[in-house]
Structure 1
């Protein structure tokens, strides 16, 4: 199963799907990301999210 989050969405909202597994998606989350963006990623990938918070400078 493949999934690619649009670059503009990832940049603007501070969320990036790093990997998809059978049971969850690994998501990098910028420290200022809005929870609604995470809800949209969850809806789009159709899997539970495992989050890793990253500083804005590293995102």
Structure 2
């Protein structure tokens, strides 16, 4: 799936200044992550189980 076909979004906690944000896009197989300041660079993908573990850790970390 190409980057242009994905529906990218930022967290509602991201500031409007554009500082240090990431964007994510959800697919059936993975969560894709990219730098919102440089969207031409490649994104990386994390499996759903890995993403769930990361979010759980971040929420309680």
Q: Which structure has more strand as a fraction of its residues?
A: 1
- Is TM more than 0.5 here? no
Q: When the two structures are superposed, what TM-score results if normalisation uses the length of structure 1?
A: 0.30
Greater Rg, structure 1 or structure 2? 2
Structure number with greater CO (CA < 8 Å, separation at least 6) is: 1
Q: When the two structures are superposed, what TM-score results if normalisation uses the length of structure 2?
A: 0.29
